[in-house]
Structure formats: C-alpha cells, structure tokens
Structure 1
C-alpha cells in the first residue's frame, strides 16, 4: 500500500500512520502541548509529534525522565484546563508516570497518557521491556483504552479518531455527570517497523485521503464544552444551599480558580466569614490566618457557628478537622465532583449533608454581613495585628517571613506555585490577605513533594505572566531532574525560591518533634542531605544565588526572570516548632483581650 505525500510516493507504515492519525485527531480536539520521553517502541508517536510541531500545530517538549515529564504535562494543563499529553515507551517508563497520574486524579487535572506497548504477540513471552500495561493505573484514570495494533489504517482510522474523542471527553469531564477532569490512559501497541520511510518522512505529516478525518480540520466527534472549565454553579432555587446567619465557610483544595471564585461569591452573597486555603482573596470576608484562629480552641468554643459549610477538600493542618468534630455542630459538604471512595471530602465522618457544586448558585438580593460574621472578622483583625511583628521587613528570614516577602514583592499578574509541605502553610501564616492580582497555584490533590519543579516549569510555560515557585529544599531536590531541559526545548521564565532548612522541618511541628523524641528525629524524619544547591544548579547551567535578608530577596523577586533562576534562602531548621508555638500563643492572647 502506498500514498502520495508532499508530491512524493512512499509506502504506508501502519505503525507511523496509526500514530499520525491519533495525534492529528487529538490536536483537532484541542491538544496543544505534548511532552515526549525518548524510547524505541514509542518512535511512531515521536515522529508524529515532531511533524505536528514542524507544522505549527503543537508545542513539543522532550524530557529524559518520565516522572518529571508527567509532572511537566500536569503543570501545562493545571491552570490552562486544556489536556496535555505525555508520550513514553513501554516497560518501566509507564510506571514512572504513576505519581503524576495520582496527583492528576485527585487534583482533577486533564492529562493524556500515551504509552507505547508491544503488540499482543510479544507479551507474556519474555520479550524485552514488555509488561502488562493494561489497567496499570487502576481506578486512578478516568478512562483506559487499548487501541488495536495498527495493521490496516484505512479500516482502523475511524476507531482511532473515536478513541481520541473518548479520551479527551473523559480527561476534561466534557460529558458532565459524575465525572470530572483527570488522567486518561491510551495503551498503544506498535509492530515493527517503527520508523517512517519514504513518503512517511514528509514534514507536513500528510495522510492519504481515506485517513484525513473530517474536512476543514473538524473533529471526528464534536464534544460539548467541559463544565469543569467554567465551574459556574447552576441549579434551581430548591437545590440551592440555604441561608444560615451563623454559618462559617471553609474553602479547601479545589480544581480551578473558577471553583474558588464561585465559593467566595456564595459566601459574600450570604455574608458569611470564610477560612480558606491559600489563594486569591476575592472577598473581605476571608479571615486572615484562619487556621491560627481555629487553633484558639477556647475562643472558638465560645463563638461556635451553627453550621460549617466545607467546599472542596481541606488539606492544611488539623484545625479544620478538629472543628468539624465538635459535638452538635452541623457540617455540610459541597463537592466539585472530585473522585474518591464516596465522592466527597469528609475525613472526620461528621458531614450531615452533601451538596453538588451547583448548590452554590446565588439568586435574589445578597445578605448583609451577619453579626456572627462581624464577630469572627473582628477576631481576624486582632489576630492579624498580633502576628504582624512576625512579618516585619527587618526580621530574620524564617519560612513565614520568606513567604510574605515573596508574596509582597511579586510583580502584578504573577502566578505563585507553592510546593507541598511547609511553604503552603508559610503563606497562610506569613500573609494576612493574599493579593487579588496574584494567582496562587498548588498541587494538593495528594500534596506530595513529587514533581514540583516540573509542575512549576509547566505552569510557567502555559501562561504569559511572571511565574515564581516557592519550594522547600527537599521538595526542590526531589525533582532536581526538572532542571534537565535540553538546549532545543522551550524554556520557561521561572524563578524558584528554595527555603533551605536542610531537611523536612515540618516534622518538628508534629508529635515527632517533642523533646523526648529528638534522638532519632533528624535521621528518620527531617532527613537532611547537605546538598549544595548552588553547585547542583550550576551543573544544570541554571543561575543560583543565596539571599539572607528580606530586602535582597524582595529586590530579586520583583524582577521577572529570563529563563530559570534559583534563589536559595537559608533558614534555621530548629526554629520552626518554637516559632509556631509563639504565633499560637500570640493569637490566644489577642483573642483573650
């Protein structure tokens, strides 16, 4: 079989043709970012992706580490809400995607996993780099499909294009129902030959007429606009969440900024105070240092709400779970449809009612700020005043002060990516009110430290404005391979601020940090590495500098980066527990006045 491509005649290679058809259809459905890892079995996909980049239809990113590659794709899709694809060869490469798959699953990020595979006749016989890839990600993907091994492209092309539509629909949550955005796995078996030949080398990636798809670049299957891209609650009056003047709203991790905005709009409409995980303020009803207020158990006990509405999934600290366990307190949960065993977040098993996200719709005139809310807002002002000295401009740089300096110095319209562990809490403890012109982005689907450098790189590549990542040293080192970017690859403009306490000092704030357990603490939990971060960056050709004062840090952060740069901020690893206790004591004293 042959076809005419770019004026030349050449044979049709079933494997390379199948890969071209599939990627062509994914691009028609909105795919714009593809991350490729090197490999032999995935060669048909690699050539197809290269041709699409030459044609200006996608942007291609090549990475040597599959785990970092998957997190890069996650970062590219996280705020753009367009699915990004990662391509790997077979074998262990497939397993290396799993950490990012888990984060995308729990964080509702649209991700396409295109893993090349051996054809069926090479499985289970001891062939090299062959394992059972079917179902490898289990329930952590929205859809898993094994496509038919390319053999007769003219017959198989409609099925490949339909599979692409099913994959994008599942990854974006386009069909609504109980599904949300998340990862999708396409297992793609290819037989030799895996390299193009003759006319298959045409840069246009041309296909013969029977394989061209719908005319005018239309998708084979037209999909509806994904509801999760807009996150606009719509419900009839009877289904809306009722007003209660003594309601406290808790906003946890949510898939998109639009979800957060809708939750804040509901709270504002009902005049309810809000305790929220780091993100744009958007409402004067967001309490400063909210988890610190909740930790003042005596004051909270005297000013209990009658109802707590939890939107999304709280992930920072133990104060919210402690509140929801209060006897007699009514807890209602609003879910954006995140996956899980029961479909909503209720770690304390105290929820009395669960509502779909549409219940946050608002109708009619908004309510005045309630007396209950005024009491909590006044408490928030006292707490903000009490903690302000901890964030003075000339203070020593600890975690919260570093977070505040970075936050305040960011240029307008910046994105601030927060690593997991301490720095996500440092923003909440060091900053009373998050700026509305700063987009806070986190990966708290599972809140692991995996892949944070690569996720930040993807975020920076997916948006036009300045991007900064605030990471702990272990989080940074855990994904140092995220700095492995070849000379021909798109490079982000990204500043990475590393809060270096030589280990995981967050453990010192937990029960493991008490004095009687300090003997094995360092080796078993804080795990210091002694790595010279500046030398590590130099090995990757990434400029790095160490800053020890607030003024110097603010000056560097205020200037957007060209390319990747790293700012190391050394902090005292032994001070976090004592500083946290001092802050809690200050809050208790302020609320006792």
Structure 2
C-alpha cells in the first residue's frame, strides 16, 4: 500500500473523530505541508469550511465564530511561522474559555533539527495557553492506528469543550507526497458520545449561602454574558434587592430588561461614594468590569466583607483573591436557583444606590445635550440607537471605555462583544467577521484607528464573504488611550513618538481597497442618518469620526467635576 493511501486513511480517521465529538466548521489557511488535511476538510460534506490566507486573521475569525454559539471551531495551517501567527488568538481564547481546535501540519521527525526549510519546533508551541497538546504519530493505517487517530482528535474536542473550555493543539507530522488519495473512503467504524457532568446547587450550598444573601450586598459582574444570562441576573438583582454593577460586555444595560438597580455610571460615581455604601456582602460573577474604579472601590472594602464568587470554569480566577465562598456553577443556574426563596429587601439600601445612579446619569445626559459632535458624542448616540437583535464588537482602549462611561440603559436588546481576555488590539476586525458570519444579524464594530490599522487584513474577510458590517472608526490619529494615563505627563518629544504614535493614514483609501463604502461623519445629523440607514439596509461600510486625543480627556474631567459638585450638595 502506498504512503499516499496510508496517509489518507489516517487523516480521514482523524477528521471523523473531530466530527464525532461535535466539530462542524473549519477555518483553513492554505499552505504546502497542510495540503492533505486542507483538501480532506474542504471536501467533507459535513463540515462548513472557510478560507483565510492570513493566519493571524484566520485565528481571530474562528474566535469570533465561537464567541457567538460557543461551538468549537477547527483551525488549520501549514508548518513554521504560519502556526506562530495563531498565537495571539489562542491566548485570547484561553483567557476567555473558548474552544478552538488548532491543527498544525509539521515536518516529519527526520526533517526536524537538520536545517530543513520551513521547519521549527512546534511541540508545546503555545505553552500553557492550550489545555492540551497532542503530537500525532507519522501516519499509519493499521486498525489500531486508525482507532488511535480517531480517538486523539475526538478526545481533544471533548477536552476543549468541557469546563473550563479552551483551545487545544494537535500537531500532524506528514511525509510527502502531500496530495491525498481521493478514492479512499473513511475506514472508521467508531462512534463517540461524551456525557457532560450535570451540575446544580446542592441543598447544603443553599443553606450555607442563604444567610449571606439576606444581608446588604452588591452584585459585580465582569463576565461576557449572553442576553439570556444578563436577563437572569437583572431579575435576580431585583428579587434580592442588591444593586448590580457591570461593564458593557455583560449586556446588563442592553438585555431589554430594566429590573433591579443597574449602576451604569459606576466609573463616575464609585470614586465619590462614602461608607454608607459599603456592602456586607459582594457577589461576583467572572472577571472584574473594565473600569479601574470598580477595582479600586472593591479594594477599599473592609476585611469583614463577605465575598461570594460564582465561577463556572472552576479556575478560581479571583483577581482580588478575597473569595470567601467559591461557587462552581453556571451563571443562569445560580440565578434561577433562588426563584422559590423570599428575600427581605432593605429599601433604604436600594434607594441610596438609585439616587447616586440617577445623579450620575443626569450629569452625563445634560452634558451631552449641548456637547459638540465628536468621538464621545458618536459613541453615546450609537449606544442609544442600535436596534434589538443587532450586535456590536467593542475594540479595546477608548472604544469600550467610551461605551461604558457615556452609555445608559436601553430597552433595545442587542448583544455586545469584546476581546477582553488579554485586552489586545490585534485581530478585532477578523473577530467581528467571525461574529457576523455565524450570527447573520446586523453587526457593528466600534474601533479606533490604531486597532483598525493592526488588522486591516481582516477587512478582506468582510469583502470576501460579503459581510454587511458597519465599522464606526474613532480616528484620533494614534493611541488616544494614553492621554488618559500617566504617560500623558511626559514632554511632547517623549509622548508623541512612543505613545501618541500618529499614523496619518487615509482610511478612505483603505475602504476603497477592500470595496467598502466610506463616510466622514462631520456632525450629529450625518452620523444619525448613516446609522439609521445601516439599520434599514446593512452593508459593509466605514463611518469615520475624527477627533483629537485630548478632547475626550477634557470631557471626562468635566463630568467628574460636575458629579463631585452635585454629590457634595
């Protein structure tokens, strides 16, 4: 039997294992050494395959897909630095517990460490950022080796999708010839069924937590939630009578449910509240919200505070390291568990939080009522305008912070996404392409010029797959976030080249290159009209809003000053 036939049988068994464990789609970056896997995946009628020639973009594209439905996405690339370009997205997937199945082709053992071209050490390439790394054998097709090939890929998908979810890496050393034998059929007769553990809160847990939930408390949420999870938490907050604090990615402000007391201006109000606002209990879900002022306020709470930390991943990712109770369960399971219990609400506790939130909301609303059109104003309009069933990816740095600081509750239920695992600004355009591809909903991206520059190759995915994504580009010509940070105190000759980093790019030309519509929004009326048109007829377009790096800083300082004055009355 030829090496070509042996390799084909072996790889077909591996693909059958992937499918049996639940993988249904793949993103392929073409290359030479990965040829047999690419062809067999692409020809498989049970798999939906996408092609992206840029490996870094491809990995974030897959990440975006998995964000939408939580299903595993296969990634395939050739050997060498192609695999290294997956690294940023893998780090993000590991940090936010998303299952990616990373397949890398490799040189066989005899071509490693001897100077062969496009060969590098791919074992443990991603280190601790993957849950599991499998170095496959060189293809063989004896029955036991076909079972081995099937089992390794099937069990790897299971590893990626069980809690805590995360990426896995499977490395395939392949010998030439690299073209598979298309006449071969899969020899695998195996099946594979994984029974996930069934989790619910035990009665002992209920009895332990119930006294804590009868005290004065606050709920702090930093996890990326679905609309359904956000609704569960809003209703739970209303039932227990505790204020709830969360950033835009929690979807607490945009889930369409206004139950409970949601503190949407936490960044503005928390630095000024006094000891009367100290809770006896803090109930946390996931990571901390994006605003640093939540972290600082929580750190000021006394040692007598009781901390309840709900962590479905079981990874104990308590940044504050203060958890008194660690509850390993799903968020909606926890919230729904207490429906039959009665909680006595301290109305005075609720009222004071409602008062401080009302003042914060009024300060922002009144300040924007006559504020000139700029980046900050465009973000507030966007936050209030997006329709039900839309979705938006918020880029890191200024984009997500403006959305957090200047937003408010809305009855329109739309989904907010972000890449906040390791907070990188790379791959954001590719991520939103993946989100749009799977969800088929009106999709938006709020992004700065520096982040867009980092992933302009992602625009090719929007063009290639005809994805009607509206990009709102906040162009302050560089790294505007640093104007909010301590680096802002540096002399211009130090600040400008290292932190301001002006790009002087003409994004109208970038739009033309990738066949996107482009508009420079110069006033409120133009911006509102273009957003309204995007709702009526979604299309691939860039709406550019230009500003300076300093103006948002002055605006935020004014809001802080006005709140301090009003709160001190």
TM-score normalised by the chain length of structure 2: 0.91
* Alignment of structure 1 residues 179-328 onto 2, 5 Å: 179-197=163-181, 199=183, 206-207=185-186, 211-214=187-190, 220-225=191-196, 234-236=201-203, 237-238=206-207, 240=209, 242-254=212-224, 256-257=226-227, 259-278=229-248, 279-281=251-253, 282=257, 283-296=259-272, 299-326=273-300, 328=302
Residue aligning to 2:473: 498
Match of 2:343 among 351, 367, 372: 367
Deviation string, structure 1 residues 241-300 (Cα, Å, up to 9, x no partner): 63143211111134655554554444333110011111233433211212211122xx33
Return 5+ residue gaps in structure 2 as ranges: none
Deviation string, structure 1 residues 98-147 (Cα, Å, up to 9, x no partner): 10011000111111111111122221222111111111111111111112
CA distance in 1, matches of 2:377, 2:201: 41
Match of 1:64 among 46, 53, 76: 53
Superposed displacement of residue 165, structure 1: 2.0
CA distance in 1, matches of 2:157, 2:232: 25
Superposed displacement of residue 449, structure 1: 0.7
Match of 1:554 among 507, 515, 528: 528
Query: In the alignment, does 2:394 pair up with 1:410?
Result: no
CA distance in 1, matches of 2:396, 2:356: 28
TM-score normalised by the chain length of structure 1: 0.87
Q: Pairwise CA RMSD of aligned residues?
A: 2.5
Return 5+ residue gaps in structure 1 as ranges: 3-10, 174-178, 201-205, 215-219
Residue pair 1:77, 1:110 contacting (<8 A) in 2 also: yes
Residue aligning to 1:50: 42
Residue aligning to 2:461: 485
Residue pair 1:165, 1:223 contacting (<8 A) in 2 also: no
Residue pair 2:25, 2:48 contacting (<8 A) in 1 also: yes
Deviation string, structure 1 residues 188-229 (Cα, Å, up to 9, x no partner): 1111111124625xxxxx43xxx1434xxxxx22013587xx
Greater helix share, structure number: 2
Residue aligning to 2:553: 577
Query: In the alignment, does 2:101 pair up with 1:112?
Result: yes
Residue aligning to 1:95: 84
Residue pair 2:311, 2:327 contacting (<8 A) in 1 also: no
SS at match of 2:274: helix
Query: In the alignment, does 2:492 pair up with 1:513?
Result: no
SS at match of 1:195: coil
Superposed displacement of residue 534, structure 1: 1.2
Aligned length: 552
SS at match of 2:98: coil
Residue aligning to 2:319: 346
* Alignment of structure 1 residues 64-83 onto 2, 5 Å: 64-83=53-72
Residue aligning to 1:32: 24
Query: In the alignment, does 2:401 pair up with 1:425?
Result: yes
CA distance in 2, matches of 1:317, 1:379: 17
Superposed displacement of residue 89, structure 1: 0.5
Deviation string, structure 1 residues 302-356 (Cα, Å, up to 9, x no partner): 432223222211142321221122152525252424586xx22224x44444333
Superposed displacement of residue 239, structure 1: 5.2
CA distance in 1, matches of 2:142, 2:543: 52
Residue aligning to 1:383: 360
Match of 2:150 among 157, 161, 166: 161
Residue pair 2:374, 2:547 contacting (<8 A) in 1 also: yes
Q: 1:245 to 1:66 in 2, by over 3 A?
A: same
Residue pair 1:499, 1:570 contacting (<8 A) in 2 also: yes
* Alignment of structure 1 residues 110-189 onto 2, 5 Å: 110-152=99-141, 154-173=143-162, 179-189=163-173
Residue pair 1:344, 1:354 contacting (<8 A) in 2 also: no
CA distance in 2, matches of 1:437, 1:105: 28
Residue pair 1:17, 1:153 contacting (<8 A) in 2 also: no
